[in-house]
Amino acid sequence: RSHFNDCPDSHSQFCFHGTCRFLVQEDKPACVCHSGYVGTRCEHADLLAVVAANQKKQTITALVVVSVVASVLLIGICVLI
């Protein structure tokens, strides 16, 4: 027997950014939040997840820029020699 059931239609909008699950033993709804959201009803953006995603994008961008600059310099040196 499962501890969770699907939420009834009366709770279809219970979770703001997540999936509603009904806790059988407690007889109340709960939320499974989508990535980047937290809170009882997934109502808050997880700022740590946003910062981590931005840092990853910045790292990738920096690596691409450094690679392009290094390639241009290497080609320039080879042409001059």
**pLDDT tens readout for residues 6-53:** 888 988 899 999 999 999 888 899 999 998 899 999 999 987 776 666
Instruction: Give domain limits for the chain.
Output: 4-80
Nearest to 42 by CA among 21, 26, 61: 21
* Residue 77 DSSP SS3: helix
* C-alpha of 24 from chain center: 29
Considering the domain 4-80, what is its CATH architecture? Ribbon (2.10)
Provide the whole-model pTM: 0.55
15 or 57, which is more confident: 15
What is the C-alpha separation between 32 and 21, in angstroms, rounded?
A: 7
